[in-house]
Amino acid sequence: MKTLWSYIRPYGFQLSFQFTIKFIGSIMDLFLPWLLAYIIDTVVPTHNIRSVYWFGGLMVASAVVALVFNIIANRMSTVISRKITEKLRHDLFAKVSYFSAHQTDEVTEPSLISRLTSDTYNVHQMVDRMQRLGVRAPILLLGGIIVTLTLEPVLSLVLIATLPILALVVYFVSKKGIGLYSKTQMANDRLVRKVQENMTGVRVIKALSKTEYEKTKFDEANRDLVKKDQRASQLMAISNPVMNLLLNLGLTAVILVGAFRVNLGLTEPGQIIAFLSYFAIILNALMMVTRLFTLYSKGAASANRIESILVMPEELVIGADDTKASDNHIEFENVSFSYNKVRPNIEHLSFALKPGETLGIIGETGSGKTTILKLLLRFYDTDEGTIRIHGTDIRTIPSEVLHKKFGIVFQDDLLYADTIAENIDFGRGLDLHAIEKAAAMAQADFIREKEGDFLHPLTVKGANLSGGQKQRLLIARALAANPEILILDDTSSALDYLTDAAVRKAIKKNFPRTTTIVIAQRISSVLRMDKILMLENGKMIGYGTHKELLCSCPSYQEIYQAQMGSFVG
């Protein structure tokens, strides 16, 4: 909540003005029953019809002022809360965008999505209603009590006797509610994760006939969310009937005591009518307060979840300059890394590439191939050792500078629901000539066959393209900005041998000074590389040219024999 106040504070002047307008409108509402009592008890007995009209007009004017001022204040509260939520959501998204991969893994993507959507919505509702009801409800409640004390102190004491009990109910219910709503949002995170998994893997689920199984798992997550939300809602719902019971008991006592006092001549009928009107106002104000505490419980729980993200320290800080003279373009110096900090995923890895050299990385699934790329891109920091580009430790290079050096195609890369040209450009402002040239090098000749060619729209995730077409578009995206370092992570899996060979030939011809790293499952994709790195369980078991590995690395020999069918030692 402390962080939320920093977003509210800049709107202090607007909030003060809005509160003032809301205050005046609420006072006008309180003024109406008093005027009614005055007309009944003082003006009517005089039989002066002009005074009745005059005070009646004053009541109408007060009602109009109350209506107009409350509308203005509500519109202002909507604008202010929208701006606060917009800034909060923007900063939250920016913070998440600069998270390290480790922080994203720790919080989880579904939880981040939930905080950016449902949590910011709950905060918006809280801020908006606090401006609307947070001023009006206390003024009507306290103002109503003060006015009733001036009208009829004895009856007011009957009403006031119920307030401490009501206050205790509201306090304990709201205190417990914040914890329950926090658990509800965590259950919502799990539901979002399940939906995300199913939407991403819908083809696999259908292919394996696991639709019913996934429906059952979704139902479990959905029921858990409903159960937790129901528990929180039931707790918050206690306050309404309890308040109604206490206030209606108080109202009954007020009517009985008031009737005796009218009979004894201790009070006037107009005062009793006004008192009952104020009692209704106080009752509505208490209902507003109850609703406020419900919204506050939800909003506070969500604000705390958002705050936990916003205050997370930046993990990938920029270190002091650490550059040494080197002829190498890329260097891994005794690098070790573990995702879970228990079992190493990369262990004591060292190699170097000169500008323009090519490196093929090969190994079984889980051997650490993609992890090398993530470390080179500094998605994670190494546990031990140093990674250098042109002799400079990458931990001293700002991320926006570091990442501009790369052209990358990942294993599970993303295509947006936009035109082919925009998917290749990727917001870099490239001209059409550069986009067409990159597409030609990537052998994406199929684009010309599409209606509108480069302006042809793609569906979400490029679902209207084949696997090979997607990979060629992604390669074109990586090549379009003329990268210093090109990374291709298993990008030829959906390409036929001729297309794969043509792509590699085009890259070699057009990017002679670009250092290229290729992760592949096929020996044919790496055998012509300047260097080949063979991995097994995160360790380098072979490093050299194709011929050198055929002579020195038994594991490489086995893969070669299995894929190519023969081996000459």
CA pair distance 478, 68, nearest whole angstrom: 59
Q: What is the pLDDT of residue 394?
A: 93
CA distances from 70 to 25, 276, 335 (A): 6, 23, 65
Give the pLDDT of residue 391.
Answer: 92
Q: Which range is most confident: 161-175, 234-248, 255-269, 537-551?
A: 537-551
Q: How confident is the model at residue 105 (pLDDT cuts 50, 70, 90)?
A: confident
Return d(Cα 327, Cα 353) in angstroms, integer.
Answer: 9
Residue range 475-487: average pLDDT?
A: 90
Q: Which domains does the chain possess? A: 83-310 (1.20.1560.10), 330-564 (3.40.50.300)
pLDDT at position 208 is 67
Q: Write the pLDDT tens digit of every residue in 9-24.
A: 898 899 889 888 988 8
Instruction: List C-alpha distances in Å: 115 to 93, 107, 190, 193, 293.
Output: 10, 11, 12, 13, 21
Comparing CA positions, the residue from 433, 34, 479, 91 lying closest to residue 270 is 34
Q: How confident is the model at residue 160 (pLDDT cuts 50, 70, 90)?
A: confident
Max mean pLDDT range (28-42, 263-277, 512-526): 512-526
Task: For residues 174-178, give the mean pLDDT.
Answer: 71
Q: Beta partners for 351? A: 332
Q: Is the pLDDT of residue 567 over 60?
A: no
Nearest to 228 by CA among 195, 173, 179, 296: 179
Name residues whose C-beta falls within 8 Å of residue 101's C-beta, 6 or more positions apart in sequence.
374, 379, 380
Q: Evaluate if residue 276 carries a pLDDT over 90.
A: no
Q: Which amino acid is at 100?
A: S
Tens digit of pLDDT for each residue in 351-405? 999 999 999 999 888 888 889 999 999 999 999 999 999 999 999 999 889 988 9
For residues 141 and 159, the answer to whether their CB atoms sit within 8 Å is: no
The answer to whether residues 462 and 415 touch, using CB atoms and an 8 Å cutoff, is yes
- For residue 469, is pLDDT > 50? yes
More confident residue, 337 or 202: 337
Report the alpha-carbon distance of residue 547 to residue 569 in Å, rounded. 9
Q: Read off the pLDDT band of 174 (50, 70, 90).
A: low
Quote the pLDDT of residue 569: 45
Strand order across the 330-337 sheet: 346-353, 330-337, 384-389, 392-393
Q: Which amino acid is at 186?
A: M
For residue 168, pLDDT over 60 is answered with: yes
DSSP state of 541: E
The pLDDT of 85-96, averaged and rounded, is 92
The single-letter DSSP state of residue 323 is B
For the stretch 285-340, pLDDT in tens is: 777 777 777 788 788 888 888 999 999 888 888 888 888 888 899 999 999 999 88
- Least trusted range by pLDDT, from 85-89, 91-95, 250-254, 362-366: 250-254
Beta partners for 137?
A: none
Q: What is the mean pLDDT of the chain?
A: 84
More confidently predicted of 369 and 42:
369
Give the pair of three-digit tokens for residue 483.
């990268």
The answer to whether 559 touches 542, Cβ cutoff 8 Å, is: no
**Residue 21: both structure tokens together:** 């307008």
Under the banding of pLDDT at 50, 70 and 90, the label for residue 38 is confident
Give the pLDDT score at 102. 86
For 435-464, what is the mean pLDDT?
Answer: 87
H or E stretch covering 111: helix 109-114
Report the C-alpha gap between 485 and 462 in whole angstroms: 26
Highest mean pLDDT among 29-43, 166-180, 267-281, 528-542: 528-542
